[in-house]
Amino acid sequence: MATIFSKIAAGEIPSYCCAQNDEFYAFLDINPMVKGHTLVIPRREVDYIFDLADDELARLHVFAARVARAIKSVIPCVKVGEAVLGLEVPHAHIHLIPMQSERDMLFSNPKLQLPADEMQAVADAIRQAFEKA
Ligand code: 5GP
């Protein structure tokens, strides 16, 4: 059975798309830690990120780096942090989190609920920056 993230990448479940190509898909986390919190996934279904083949893992990170640069250009932050957990959704993904401080990376923090129009505006801005790069 397809994972929820496969359905998102296929457009069967809506998401706030930030970037995509044939192999990878980036979209806003629905319960963000901070504004601009983005998930990057391979379209191919693999649960554990470290089960990806070396070259696919490398390409995923190159794609994520381009997404991170786009995030940093539109969300004021010190740096974009990267985290991998995968405890909730069994489909490999990288969290990209614009940080003001180390505290923004604490997954035990309460999550934000941003209005749909704000989520859309953030995703559109990241996508435009990604496409320009
Ligand atoms: P993890 O598997 O890394 O522990 O956490 C999964 C992340 O995916 C969480 O931050 C959660 O908010 C996010 N998430 C779970 N389901 C959905 C969904 O249907 N749409 C989006 N955009 N994010 C989701």
pLDDT digit string, tens, across residues 69-82: 999 999 999 999 99
| 129 CA distance to ligand 1 middle (Å) | 23
Which residue has its alpha carbon closest to ligand 1 atom 8?
A: 29
Rounded Cα gap, residues 12 and 59, in angstroms = 25
Strands of the sheet with 38-42, listed across from one edge: 17-20, 24-28, 38-42, 94-99, 79-83
Question: Residue 74: CB partners within 8 Å, gap ≥ 6?
Answer: 36, 122, 125, 126, 129
Beta bridge pairs of residue 94: 40
Amino acid code (one letter) for 98: P
- Dig out the tokens for 51 from the structure: 């089960």
Kindly list the distances between the CA atom of residue 14 and the CA atoms of 5, 73, 91, 100, 133, in Å, as whole numbers in the listed order.
10, 25, 17, 29, 25
Domain presence at residue 11? yes
Rounded Cα gap, residues 72 and 4, in angstroms = 27
Catalytic residue positions, numbered:
93
Q: What is the mean pLDDT of residues 46-70?
A: 98
| 31 CA distance to ligand 1 middle (Å) | 7
106 falls in which pLDDT band (50, 70, 90)? very high
pLDDT in the model for residue 3:
97
Domain presence at residue 74? yes
CATH assignment at residue 80: 3.30.428.10
Domain presence at residue 70? yes
Domain presence at residue 99? yes
Domain presence at residue 133? no
- What pLDDT, in 10s, does the model give residues 21-42? 999 999 999 999 999 999 999 9
Domain presence at residue 132? no
Range of the domain at 64: 4-126
Domain presence at residue 101? yes
Domain presence at residue 131? no
Which of 89, 94, 97 for mutating ligand 1's site (highest number of atoms within 8 Å of CB)? 89
- Dig out the tokens for 72 from the structure: 């940093």
pLDDT in the model for residue 11:
97
pLDDT averaged over every residue in the chain? 98
Residue 84 alpha carbon, nearest atom of ligand 1: 3
Amino acid code (one letter) for 31: N
The pocket around ligand 1, CB under 6 angstroms, is made up of 4, 15, 27-31, 39, 85-89
Domain count, the chain: 1
